[in-house]
Amino acid sequence: MSRMTPFSSPLLLGFDAMEKTLERLAKSGDSYPPYNIERLSGADGKTERLRITLAVAGFAENDLDVTTEENQLVVRGRQNDDTEREFLHRGIAARQFQRCFVLADGMRVIAAELKNGLLSIDLDRPESERLVRKINISVKD
């Protein structure tokens, strides 16, 4: 018995990568670090902007890495374990994380700012030009 997927219609061509991305997102269950996504209006009131805010308390600027890889925004955090300190109780673990966000075509990262333990990443999507292209039909005899 074959499995029906949202992209199994013969009218949807070239969406294989999107289907794999959705499957990968469904499998990722890590909730660390917590984050918010908010919609902001642009300066002109029309342009849509998004802000992703991650709670990264304890991470310094050098511990964080924000990159875009293909159509993904990847945020990584790495903390080194301080071996010189002696803990009587250790309730705050030095842990690593990687959080991925899938970006739609045309989305771009404007800025990233670390303030008071919150990493804010601003994105926008400039309005794209509507492209209509006439395809010539060749006739073979």
Mean pLDDT of each 10-residue bin along the chain, 141 residues long:
65 72 66 90 74 94 93 90 82 85 88 96 84 89 77
Residue 3: inside a domain: no
Q: Flag whether 69 is in a domain.
A: yes
Q: Do the domain assignments include residue 6?
A: no
> How many structural domains is the chain composed of?
1
pTM of the predicted structure, to 2 decimals:
0.72
Residue 21 structure tokens:
């991305």
In a domain, 141, yes or no: no
Residue carrying the six token digits 């039909």: 137
What was the pLDDT predicted at 130? 80
The per-residue pLDDT for 141 is 77
Which single residue is written with the structure tokens 């902007």? 49
Is residue 7 domain-resident? no
User: Given this model, what pLDDT does residue 16 score?
Assistant: 73
Q: Could you tell me if residue 65 is inside a domain?
A: yes
pLDDT, position 62: 93
Residue 52 lies in domain: 30-80+92-123
Report the SS3 class of residue 70. Answer: coil
> Is 49 among the domain residues?
yes
Question: Checking phi first, is residue 15 left (phi over 0); if not, alpha (psi -120 to 50) or beta?
Answer: alpha
Which pLDDT belongs to residue 28?
63
Q: Taking Cα atoms as reference points, which of 94, 103, 96, 140 lies closest to residue 123?
A: 103
